[in-house]
Amino acid sequence: MSSKVEVEKRKATEPISPPPTKRSLASGTTKSAISNFFTPTSQKPKDRTSWSERKDDPTKPATLLVGKYTPDGESKETQKRRKIAAFDLDSTLIDTSSGRKHAKDASDWRWWDAQVPGKLKELYEDGYQVAILSNQGGITLHADPKQKSAPKNPSKRLDEFKEKGSSILRFLDLPITVYAATAKDNFRKPRRGMWDEILRDMGVEAKDIDLEQSFFVGDAGGRGATVVNGAAIVKDFSCSDRNLAHNVGVSFKTPEEYFLGQEPRKWERDLDLVHYPLPSEDGEATAFTKKNAQEMVIFCGRPGAGKSTFYWKFLEPLGYERVNQDTLKTREKCIQVAKAHLEDGRSVAVDNTNADPSTRKLWIDLAQSLKVPIRCVSLSTPAAVCRHNDAVRSLNKSLNPEEREVLPEIAFTGFQSRYKPPQESEGFEDITEVEFRFRGTKEDYAIWGRYWL
């Protein structure tokens, strides 16, 4: 016959299955925390979270906020850890205790589920390096003097996040580091900058990590809206957490899957790179040919459609002079330079978007006035791929020889509002339709073939 102590012990350890509809959530605001607020500073325990800032670009201000917690009396490990368990923060480890979408202050948080602290402790005891990776675009570490609308009281948001972060780490009392990306640079998920910082802090290289055992948990998994037990569940705001896991080569789970053992929901990406593999080297040997001794070719396509890449790969070797508004700055200057090249007997490629008939007519009129045949290359690259290309280009110097800045959203929406497909009846000798495919080296594809948005 079991003793009373044994029965109580068994009840305490048995899991609840299936999970209750309403989760029991442990609040981050405890009695000790409240009393600690009224304790004089001289009598308060030492904050064991040290905060620092890091840079993505050495020429620019720091954009990554790092909070490292060191438990009291932590002994130095003799062996480096090889497994990483990384978690998003909001809606994954914690929720707001107020029920609001965004926390109203530093104390407005509670555990996403009562299991969270225990699970993290188990992972650490099982040899995992535990880390928190969070996009925190609402925090400003250093104000940009060029920004027209500066955020109101930026230090308040920063101080509140530090206070909340210290409280969370103090509750866990484990050697965990939180990384908070505050800008749209390489630190921001799904870009792998924060993951690389984990490796740097661990003192290991990427090849040393056990990727099969490592994983990332986050709520941004690209899941669609659904109804469960009569309750509507909204779709995920993005797929950035799942895409980060893909970029670093580890498995991904949502908090519902990891903490509650629920079955995965259907999900999809706005852009799935599986549709754009690395092509064979000789797949486009004759993508474009020159038909006339002298001619003008104008491109038509979204920003980021691959127009410049197409020029350098196919037209520049054929002797076409490039005219580009990003480098020449104005359309008038582009027309002047193109006219000079044509008058000197050279062929010209106009590497601009040329979205509408009225813009294209300027080039058609110029060509006809000089009795030069004009042709069109129309690039039908999908909008999602164009945004991806723009991010890859702006964030990777090796793929950005002209050092172009990331484009504003209006560059994409403005093109779409004006776009009319080119027609031969406008005055073109012919139109070459070009579908998007990656055009670059295997090394370039290793960069391009990650998720950047």
User: How far is CA 24 from its chain centroid?
Assistant: 32
Q: Tell me what pLDDT residue 153 has.
A: 73
Of the listed ranges 21-30, 49-58, 319-328, 408-417, the least confidently predicted one is 21-30
Half-sphere exposure of 191 (CA within 13 A, CB side): 23
- Collapse the DSSP code of 226 into the 3-class scheme (helix H, G, I; strand E, B; otherwise coil) and give the result: strand
Percent of the chain with pLDDT over 90: 79
Confidence bin at 34 (pLDDT 50/70/90): very low
C-alpha to C-alpha distance for 124 and 132, rounded to whole angstroms: 13
Q: Delineate the domains of the chain, giving CATH numbers in brackets.
A: 45-142+152-269 (3.40.50.1000), 296-442 (3.40.50.300)
Q: Which of 90, 110, 115 is nearest to 257 (CA)?
A: 115
Q: At what angle are helices 154-172 and 116-125 packed, to 10 degrees? A: 70
Of the listed ranges 47-51, 84-88, 281-285, 317-321, the least confidently predicted one is 281-285
Q: Tell me what pLDDT residue 2 has.
A: 45
Q: At what angle are helices 383-395 and 409-418 packed, to 10 degrees? A: 150
* Backbone φ, ψ for residue 434 (5° rounding): -125, 115
Q: To 5 degrees, how large is the angle CA 131–CA 137–CA 139? A: 90
Task: Give the model confidence (pLDDT) of 140-187 as tens digits.
Answer: 998 876 666 656 677 899 999 999 999 999 999 999 999 999 999 999
Task: Give the model confidence (pLDDT) of 304-316 as tens digits.
Answer: 999 999 999 999 9
Q: Tell me what pLDDT residue 6 has.
A: 46
C-alpha to C-alpha distance for 416 and 413, rounded to whole angstroms: 5
Q: To 5 degrees, how large is the angle CA 27–CA 30–CA 36? A: 145
Mean pLDDT of the chain: 89
Q: Tell me what pLDDT residue 381 has.
A: 97
**Which residue type, as a one-letter code, is found at position 165?**
G
Confidence bin at 74 (pLDDT 50/70/90): confident
Q: Tell me what pLDDT residue 46 has.
A: 75
Q: Tell me what pLDDT residue 4 has.
A: 43
pLDDT of residue 24 exceeding 70, the answer is: no
Residue 442 token pair: 């295997």
Q: What is the pTM of this model?
A: 0.84
Q: Tell me what pLDDT residue 11 has.
A: 42
Task: Give the model confidence (pLDDT) of 242-295 as tens digits.
Answer: 999 999 999 999 999 999 999 999 999 999 999 999 987 665 666 899 999 999
Decide: 348 and 297 in contact? Cβ < 8 Å: yes
Task: Give the model confidence (pLDDT) of 383-425 as tens digits.
Answer: 999 999 999 999 999 999 888 999 999 999 999 999 999 999 9
Percent of the chain with pLDDT over 70: 87
Of the listed ranges 2-16, 94-108, 120-134, 260-274, the least confidently predicted one is 2-16
Of all residues in the chain, what percent are helix, strand and coil, respectively (each to 5)? 35, 15, 50
C-alpha to C-alpha distance for 393 and 406, rounded to whole angstroms: 8
